[in-house]
Amino acid sequence: MTFGFYYYLLEILFRHGRDELALELMRAYYGRWLKMGGTTFGEHFDLQANENKKKVDWEYEVHGYGTSAHLHFYTNILGIVPLEPGFKKVLFRPHPGNLKRAKGSIHTPQGEISVSWNVSGSVFKMEIKTPKACEYSIIKPDGFAKYQLKIKGARCRLTR
């Protein structure tokens, strides 16, 4: 399979609640490639051909669609989904799967948006910082007994 195809496969898995399988595939393909010293994602990565190797023999030319894994880190794992051009409206919808924490930020025309979340047992804690000009909504991930949310440093009530 191609790295470009993985974008679509992972998106389908994340959209249909198969977060752990999506993360497993990301670790298997993108993670293994990076561990072997890959610095760009090219057309494809054959796990069997590289099974006993500790280092990538050669490097691909950069293909734009090979960068698709990055989008999943922001939109699905961190959960930053633009709802309008320029990030004027944003949906926060993280997919933690079997991860314990995630943290990151993106620069938008409205300013920097940052998210950090962590899982502690059955508690999901998330902190969001958005520019003033940014409207937002939040969808909490399923499966947690308790949720704690801070927006711009202030505790908030999370309802769904």
Q: pLDDT by residue (tens digit) across 72-89?
A: 889 999 999 999 999 999
Residues 130 and 71 in one domain: no
Per-residue model confidence as pLDDT tens digits over 123-143: 999 999 999 888 999 999 999
The DSSP H or E segment spanning 10 is: helix 3-15
pLDDT at 24 over 80: yes
Give the range of the structural domain holding residue 130, as residue numbers without chain letter: 79-160
Contacts of residue 17, Cβ cutoff 8 Å, sequence gap at least 6: 142
49 and 89 share one domain: no
| Percent of the chain surpassing pLDDT 70 | 74
pTM of the model: 0.77
Average pLDDT of 109-126? 95
Answer yes or no: do 126 and 141 share one domain: yes
Whether residues 22 and 91 fall in one domain: no
